[in-house]
Amino acid sequence: MIEVSNLRKNFGDIEALKGVSFSVRAGEIYGLLGPNGAGKSTTIGVLCGLVVPDSGQASLDGIDIARRPVEARRVLGVVPQEVALYTEFTARDNLSFFGRLYGLGGSRLSEAVEQVLERVGLADRAREPIERFSGGMLRRLNIAAGLLHGPKAVLMDEPTVGLDPQSRASILELVRSIAAGGAAVVYTTHYLDEAERLCDRIGVIDRGSILAEGTLQELRDAAGAREIIALRGTFAAEVVTREMQKHPEFEVLKVTDGELLLTVQRAEQHVAALLAAASSLGTVREVAIRQPSLESLFIKLTGRELRE
Amino acid sequence: MTAALTIAAHHIRRVVRNPGLILLLLAIPLTFAIIEYAAFGRTVAKGTLPPATVLFLDEDDTLVSSALPQVFSGGPAKDFFELSQVQSKSEAVRLFKRGQAAALIVVPSGFQSAVLEGKRAELGFYPNPVQSIGPEIARSMLEMTALIGNGLYAKALEPIAQIRALVQAEREPTSDEVAAISRGFFEAGRRLSSLQGLSGLTVGVQRPGASAVKTGFGNDPGQFFAYVFPGLVVFGLLLIAQALAMRLMRDRLRGLQRRLVVTPVGPSAVILGGVFYLVAALFALLVFLGIIGAVVFRIQLRDPVSLVAIGAGFAIFASGLHLLSVSLARSDRGAGFVGSVIVLVLSLIGGSFVPAEQYPPFLRSLAVLVPNGAAQQGFIDVLVHKLPLAALGGRLAVVWSWGLAAMGLAVYFEQRRLRS
């Protein structure tokens, strides 16, 4: 349904995309994960038809986006990160306006509005000005505006930012129902646990390239059976690098002034030795062992955490 | 095109739902006009200057001194002056400070005696230092009165001398003396009566036609406002255009614009929708202000085709200017600041606050080269000078050239920004 092939895009001297490729099938949720500046926004811009790639191709339902952007947008639903709605209007008026821009009108528009309001659980609040809505309700309406025309492909850009756990759960359930309805969903998020719970496949993007891609299990396997030992305290990078060369069983994932992340197989067997050497690394105040996860893979691939 | 109109209608509906700021801005030109009407309208409507209040302090308290106020309160002078008696100079100073009087005339003690004795008799004249026109008129009136009084005095020297002799002798006049004094004043009056011809003076006016009678704006309030109101309307529309364009800027910052451009209508329809919205809203507000001008300020909206031609051109300019400003700005504060500075500078150069006719020649030429100045003068040419559309070519060329240039640049930069 969504095909992205070898996209390249330069902005002046900056290489924003260096051959990005992925595909998303109908009914699949694809998580696109990457830190800020990784190339996510440019990729989404290409899928929306707003950014023309220097080379490569992107298509939606077989429609070449660069050549036929209007037709491509008809099958695309976009849920932006911001709550992009008109606060002067009711939920129904907002949806009616967006529906008209997608070519809906008359009874078709009315039915589509009613259905989508029902789907996001706002049917009973349809006539209320949305300035009275809670954050969770606004997010659901924000999603509804992107689903109104029954798109075959949906781009969702961090749709749960700033929400409480209950509202997040409700939105994630909604996203699953969208995919269950047959739409291909590209989902970007800064919450790794959300990606782990929601996405069928995940692509890790950084510095304009997809660094790893696969199902959650495939990525966990790629991360290996190595666990993460996280030390919090005060560290100097050059000292840590020098000292850890004496312990080749450990791999340094990340070192900052306040945190040191290491990977090792069977961490519990090595913690004692690590603590014995800890005084030479810096001041250690806290030690934690984490199971292999998407996070460890992400850090391993990008050298950064997702929120950076 | 349909999509652009849908978007424009949507933006206009938003303004209608939330009109507070626009109404507030609409009130600016109306408030200015009402203030100007309160200050000048009543007297301008009558074709006269506002009456100046002259204070009168009589320290002599005699027959002659009590006759002096008649100079200001009687005859034709009564239309120009309002006379008010005061008891002291300090009372006059208080009224001066409040701006409630233009001048003070003091008749000093001994004035009548000096007149009768043929000595130099002086009146005190104190202009209010914070006023200019009123005191000057009062001073001129007093000097003219003194001139005429001196003439009358010269004609009646003989009977005055007879009265003075009787006063000095402290005795009752005989019937022959009374008759002689009366004869003397009669002769003086007769000699002065030759001046009465002046009172019957008439000035013949050649009137080329009924329409020429009301040229200028002093004859009725409609003419006055036809001259003043266009500048205020043009200024108000520039401000309103900025407020309307800032809504688009805020839409952009809140991600609403991006949400629109990812729909099938695409960026061109979104930009065009914004243009239609601004031009249509400004033109509608221009028509609304025109109706207010006609109903409230009695401006005769003649030659609607010319007014529409100028108004449409100016609506396009104001829209283009502020669309360009928000397109180039990175924040709403930046757009607000730049837009306000441009509006202020254009309004000062174009003559929104001070009529361009009062400018020195260079600035006057410049005023009609800026779009708001040309639009303002174009409206005045139609409403006051009653020029036909064919005579407005220069004004229309300036307004439309600026309008199309500003709009063209705005659309170009907005497209470039959306595609980057």
> pLDDT tens string for chain A (308 positions)?
899 999 999 888 888 899 899 999 999 999 998 888 888 889 998 998 888 899 999 999 999 998 898 899 999 999 988 889 998 899 999 999 999 999 888 899 999 999 999 888 888 998 989 988 988 889 889 989 998 998 999 999 888 887 788 888 888 888 898 999 899 999 988 788 888 888 999 998 888 888 888 888 788 777 666 778 888 888 888 888 888 888 888 888 778 888 888 888 777 788 888 888 777 878 888 888 877 667 777 777 776 665 55
Q: Do B262 and A103 touch (CB under 8 A)?
A: no
In this prediction, residues B14-42 reach a mean pLDDT of: 77
The contacts of residue B28 (CB under 8 Å, 6+ apart) are B232, B235, B236, B239
| Chains A, B: CB pairs < 8 Å | 62
A218-232, B151-165, B245-259 — most confident range: B245-259
Of the candidates A74, A76, A80, which has its C-beta nearest B259's C-beta? Answer: A80
Pick the more confident residue, B194 or B249.
B249
A270/B42 Cα distance (integer angstroms):
98
Identify the DSSP state of A75.
Answer: T
From residue A171, alpha-carbon distances to A144, A183, A234, A269 in Å are: 11, 16, 39, 41
In a domain, B208, yes or no: no
Using a CB–CB cut-off of 8 Å, the residues of B that contact A are 3, 6-7, 10, 14, 17-18, 254-256, 258-267, 418-419
In a domain, B206, yes or no: no
Instruction: State whether A137 and A251 are in the same domain.
Output: no
Cβ neighbours of A100 in B, within 8 Å: 6
Q: Which pLDDT band holds residue B42 (cuts at 50, 70, 90)?
A: low
Residue of A86, A92, A109, A143 to mutate, interface with B, max B Cβ within 10 Å: A86
Half-sphere exposure of residue B337: CA atoms within 13 angstroms, side-chain side? 6
Residue A100, min C-alpha distance to chain B (Å): 8
Does residue A139 contact residue A171 with C-beta atoms inside 8 Å?
Answer: yes
Residues B326-374: tens digit of each pLDDT: 999 888 888 888 888 999 999 888 888 776 767 788 888 888 899 999 9
Give me the number of domains chain A comprises: 2
Q: Indicate if the alpha-carbon torsion angle B90, B95, B96, B101 is positive or negative.
A: negative
In a domain, A304, yes or no: no
Instruction: State whether B124 and B35 are in the same domain.
Output: no
- Write out the H or E segment, with its range, that includes residue B349: helix B332-350
Q: Do A78 and B261 touch (CB under 8 A)?
A: no
Cα B161 from chain centroid (whole Å) = 54
Residues B73-123: tens digit of each pLDDT: 766 666 678 888 999 999 999 988 887 888 999 999 988 888 877 788 888
Instruction: State whether B283 and B388 are in the same domain.
Output: yes
Taking 70 as the threshold, does the pLDDT of residue B204 lie above it? no
Q: What is the predicted pLDDT for the residue at B51?
A: 73
CATH of the domain at A260: 3.30.70.1150
CATH of the domain at A188: 3.40.50.300
Does residue B224 contact residue B217 with C-beta atoms inside 8 Å?
Answer: yes
| CB burial string A120-146: b at 16+ within 10 A, e below | bebeebbeebbeebeebbbbbbbbbbb
Q: What is the predicted pLDDT for the residue at B398?
A: 94
Q: What is the predicted pLDDT for the residue at B212?
A: 42
Q: What is the predicted pLDDT for the residue at B43?
A: 57
Of the candidates A52, A73, A85, which has its C-beta nearest B263's C-beta? Answer: A73
List the domain range (segments joined by +) for residue A270.
Answer: 225-291
Q: Do A88 and B263 touch (CB under 8 A)?
A: no
Residue of chain B whose alpha carbon sits nearest to that of A155 = B262
Instruction: State whether A165 and A236 are in the same domain.
Output: no
Instruction: State whether B311 and B227 are in the same domain.
Output: yes
Q: Do A49 and B265 touch (CB under 8 A)?
A: no
Taking 50 as the threshold, does the pLDDT of residue B275 lie above it? yes
In this prediction, residues B16-42 reach a mean pLDDT of: 76
Residue B332, min C-alpha distance to chain A (Å): 17
As beta bridge partners, residue A290 has: A228
Residues B299-323: tens digit of each pLDDT: 888 889 999 999 999 999 999 999 9
Q: Do A97 and B261 touch (CB under 8 A)?
A: no
Residue B255, min C-alpha distance to chain A (Å): 5
Q: What is the predicted pLDDT for the residue at B406?
A: 95
Does residue A298 contact residue A33 with C-beta atoms inside 8 Å?
Answer: yes
List the domain range (segments joined by +) for residue B96.
Answer: 48-155
Q: Do A101 and B18 touch (CB under 8 A)?
A: no
Cβ neighbours of B21 in A, within 8 Å: none
Q: What is the predicted pLDDT for the residue at B217?
A: 46
In a domain, A306, yes or no: no
Instruction: State whether A213 and A236 are in the same domain.
Output: no
In a domain, B179, yes or no: no
Residue of chain B whose alpha carbon sits nearest to that of A70 = B264
Q: What is the predicted pLDDT for the residue at B53?
A: 85
CATH of the domain at B133: 3.40.1710.10
Residue of chain A whose alpha carbon sits nearest to that of B12 = A88
Q: Indicate if the alpha-carbon torsion angle B295, B300, B304, B310 is positive or negative.
A: negative
Q: Which pLDDT band holds residue B405 (cuts at 50, 70, 90)?
A: very high
In a domain, B171, yes or no: no
Of A220, A249, A280, the residue that ends a domain is A220
Closest CA to B372 of B195, B250, B253, B231: B231
A121/A153 Cα distance (integer angstroms):
22
Q: What is the predicted pLDDT for the residue at B198?
A: 47
Residue B340, min C-alpha distance to chain A (Å): 26
Q: Which pLDDT band holds residue B197 (cuts at 50, 70, 90)?
A: very low
Instruction: State whether A113 and A232 are in the same domain.
Output: no
**Share of residues in chain B with pLDDT > 90 (%):** 26
Q: What is the predicted pLDDT for the residue at A166?
A: 83
Between B332-350 and B304-328, two packed helices, what is the crossing angle to 10 degrees? 140
Identify the DSSP state of A289.
Answer: E
Encoded tokens for B25: 């801005």
Give me the number of domains chain B comprises: 2
Complex ipTM: 0.77
In a domain, B163, yes or no: no
Residue B315, min C-alpha distance to chain A (Å): 25
